[in-house]
Amino acid sequence: MRCWRRWADLSPDYEAYQRVAGVYKSQGKEELWLATLKEFLTKPDNELDHARVRVEIAEHFMAKGDYKTAQPYAEQAAEESGAEWAMRCAQRCAEGLGDDKRAAMWARRIRERYGR
């Protein structure tokens, strides 16, 4: 763990933060897992790394049935990236919340952008 944390401190790299967060998650330390991922979101974004982390957080909470906590992460990932996988996450979250209008909006955006 020390080595992963040192790597993350020296290089705000997606993989380094994923390793640190993964150790915390495997130890059942959800608060430290989430804090580590949130810390990564304060670092400069390379490619779609922030969206990936936000989707990971959203999926974690959706798996627990906590769609309300997941929603801001899912929607921010979708809005900022425009990636199909992020928009599908936001759509699933809206469906889980029973927000049919928002789910339809995400489905429409996916169709408009990706023709699916």
Residue positions counted in the chain = 116
Q: What is the pLDDT of residue 88?
A: 98
Cα separation, 67 vs 95, whole angstroms: 9
The total number of structural domains that make up the chain: 2
Q: What is the pLDDT of residue 18?
A: 93
Q: What is the pLDDT of residue 60?
A: 98
The tokens of 81 are what? Answer: 């990236």
What's the CATH number where 90 sits? 1.25.40.10
- Residues 37 and 57 reside in one and the same domain: no
User: Which pLDDT tens digits describe the chain residue by residue (116 residues)?
Assistant: 666 566 667 777 898 899 899 999 999 999 999 999 999 999 999 889 999 999 999 999 999 999 999 999 999 999 999 999 999 999 999 999 999 999 999 999 999 999 97
The whole domain housing 72 covers 49-116
- Residues 85 and 111 reside in one and the same domain: yes
